[in-house]
């Protein structure tokens, strides 16, 4: 097979002169048992940084997507039978590397309870089990864990297996060394060496599938497609219509996208590259600072990536072999070395996004899906909504909007000072979360602990200005559009 000039063959980095800055990175990565191909890929992105690239994607290089460029989910009914036929050939992969540090978690975010004692992983496992029972097909599930989430996650799914498929239950993503912004040398932080490394982003999925031999095992076991999504996206479930569309149209790569709303304006959007005409994903870190307003224009860039993708495994293998890597756009994330210490040295984190692979496939496509297929839990506001009676567990063990709700999605706004961290959140709802089924907006300001049995209706405000914690019960919010201000 003809090789791409994008990436050279794995090189002997020990032969580099001592003056070569990359040699320090290579030896550091080798000491942490990172495979040579990972070191080579990191060198590619490091070389881009040295050449002045910041991984930016300017307005002049892209064009917006129109609805005509996308297939709508509502047009896919005719593909369901094809999806049923293709089901024995598809594997499910969940991105499970996140710790949920923004919510104060120190374990895998997927272990967070969302309904009673049921966590994300419980829901995912049960969905797969029921899918297997319904169709009598051993659909395999594989987790892409990080070094931080692997042990806890594997303990949580103990007893679950992929049976005769021989597909591994998990593989682990790699890690990249942080780069000092002033010297472009490896970051050093002796008091906590773990902080010298960063997750490479979910774009590492493709490399990790290759180095762990997960891709090889999937193909050897007869699987042709993979459905890949975030473990905290409760809406990302197997869909026969989308699978059937993928298989029938012989698509190498299919991305699920949804209509952007003001809440999504900071997230990555879909676009087209002018030069090639191919679809592309632009993340906020890839937007030049002076063009941020246009990036956030949800009328112009109307569709965002849900981070749920469907991929043809054989084509993936060919693309990776041709380039020696999956050609993904560089994301140069500027951070402080210790994310909790704003005075720690500035660093650059090399990252890539899984969705940017859409540009690597000539006939890649995107499908516009309903918002129900994008239900992530990123904040305590999301968590409260999902834990409430606004969502129920269906017979297929899918967490779906409660059909009894007859109004637009509730807008939850909890005071981050007291509710941002999960432990604080749980302390303030010790007897269960309020009913939000008939609630339009639920806003809490100040330190408030809620008794059980609270039912909110309409636009509800609870504001505590006393300076100490107060307790609110059902009788305090009995009226519709209750506005409780405590002074």
Q: pTM of this prediction?
A: 0.93
Query: How many other CB atoms sit within 10 Å of the CB of residue 401?
Result: 14
476 labeled part of a ligand binding site: no
Q: What percent of the chain has pLDDT over 70?
A: 96
Element (H, E) at 485: strand 483-486
Task: Tell how strand 179-180 and strand 346-351 pair up.
Answer: antiparallel
What is the total residue count of the chain?
487
Which two tokens mark 379?
């904040």
Q: Can you list the domains of the chain with their CATH numbers?
A: 13-373 (3.90.550.10), 380-486 (2.160.10.10)
User: What are the φ and ψ backbone dihedral angles of 485, each rounded to 5 degrees?
Assistant: -115, 120
Q: Where are the beta strands (DSSP E) in 113-217?
A: 113-115, 118-119, 141-145, 170-172, 176-177, 179-180, 197-198
pLDDT-derived band of residue 7, with 50, 70 and 90 as boundaries? low
173 labeled part of a ligand binding site: yes
What pLDDT was estimated at residue 11? 56
| Burial environment of residue 15 by CB neighbours within 10 A (0 to 12, 13 to 18, 19 or more) | exposed
Which DSSP state fits 133? H
150 labeled part of a ligand binding site: no
Q: Render pLDDT for 106-165 as a digit per residue (tens, 0 to 9).
A: 889 999 999 988 999 999 999 999 999 999 999 999 999 999 999 999 999 999 999 889
Q: State the DSSP string of 441-465.
A: EEEEES-EEE-TT-EEEEEEEEEE-
Q: Render pLDDT for 386-428 as a digit per residue (tens, 0 to 9).
A: 999 999 999 889 999 999 999 888 999 999 999 999 999 999 9
Output the average pLDDT for the chain: 94
378 labeled part of a ligand binding site: yes
**Averaged over 42-65, what is the pLDDT?**
92
| Burial environment of residue 301 by CB neighbours within 10 A (0 to 12, 13 to 18, 19 or more) | buried
201 labeled part of a ligand binding site: yes
Q: Render pLDDT for 293-337 as a digit per residue (tens, 0 to 9).
A: 999 999 999 999 999 999 999 999 999 999 999 999 999 999 999
Q: Render pLDDT for 328-367 as a digit per residue (tens, 0 to 9).
A: 999 999 999 998 899 999 999 999 999 999 999 989 999 9
pLDDT-derived band of residue 14, with 50, 70 and 90 as boundaries? low
């Amino acid at each position: 097979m003809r090789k791409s000039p994008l990436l050279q063959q794995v090189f002997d980095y020990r032969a580099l002169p001592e003056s070569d800055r990359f040699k320090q990175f290579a030896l550091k990565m080798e000491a942490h048992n990172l495979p040579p191909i990972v070191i080579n890929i990191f060198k590619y992105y490091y070389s881009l940084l040295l050449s002045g690239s910041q991984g930016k994607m300017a307005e002049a290089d892209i064009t917006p997507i129109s609805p005509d460029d996308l297939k709508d989910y509502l047009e896919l009914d005719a593909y369901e039978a094809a999806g049923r036929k293709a089901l024995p050939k598809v594997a499910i992969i969940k991105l499970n590397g996140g710790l949920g540090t923004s919510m104060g978690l120190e374990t895998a975010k997927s272990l967070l309870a969302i309904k009673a004692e049921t966590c994300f992983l419980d829901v995912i496992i049960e969905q797969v089990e029921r899918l297997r029972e319904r169709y009598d097909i051993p659909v395999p599930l594989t987790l892409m864990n990080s070094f931080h989430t692997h042990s806890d996650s594997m303990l949580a799914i103990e007893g679950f297996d992929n049976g005769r498929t021989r597909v591994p239950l998990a593989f682990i993503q790699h890690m990249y060394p942080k780069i000092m912004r002033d010297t472009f040398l490896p970051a050093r932080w002796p008091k906590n060496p773990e902080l010298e490394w960063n997750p490479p982003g979910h774009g590492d999925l493709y490399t990790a599938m290759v180095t762990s031999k997960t891709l090889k095992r999937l193909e050897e076991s007869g699987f042709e497609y993979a459905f890949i999504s975030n473990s905290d996206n409760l809406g990302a479930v197997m869909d026969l219509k989308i699978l059937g569309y993928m298989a029938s149209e012989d698509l190498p790569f299919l991305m699920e996208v949804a209509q952007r709303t003001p809440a999504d304006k900071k997230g990555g959007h879909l676009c087209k590259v002018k030069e090639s005409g191919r679809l592309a994903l632009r993340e906020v870190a890839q937007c030049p600072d002076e063009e941020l307003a246009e990036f956030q224009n949800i009328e112009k860039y109307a569709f965002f990536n849900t981070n749920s993708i469907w991929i043809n495994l054989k084509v993936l293998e060919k693309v990776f072999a041709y380039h020696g890597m999956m050609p993904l756009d560089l994301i140069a994330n500027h951070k402080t070395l210790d994310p909790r210490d704003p005075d720690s040295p500035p660093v650059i984190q090399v990252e890539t996004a899984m969705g940017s692979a859409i540009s690597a496939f000539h006939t890649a496509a995107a499908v516009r899906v309903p918002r129900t297929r994008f239900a992530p839990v990123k904040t305590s506001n999301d968590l409260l909504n999902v834990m409430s009676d606004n969502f129920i567990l269906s017979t297929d063990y899918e967490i779906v909007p409660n059909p009894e709700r007859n109004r637009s999605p509730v807008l939850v706004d909890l005071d981050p000072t007291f509710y941002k961290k999960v432990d604080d959140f749980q302390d303030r709802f010790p007897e269960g979360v309020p009913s939000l089924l008939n609630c339009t907006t639920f806003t809490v300001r100040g330190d408030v602990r809620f008794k059980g049995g609270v039912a909110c209706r309409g636009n509800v405000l609870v504001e505590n200005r006393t300076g100490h914690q107060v307790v609110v019960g059902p009788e305090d919010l009995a009226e519709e559009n209750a506005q409780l201000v405590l002074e």
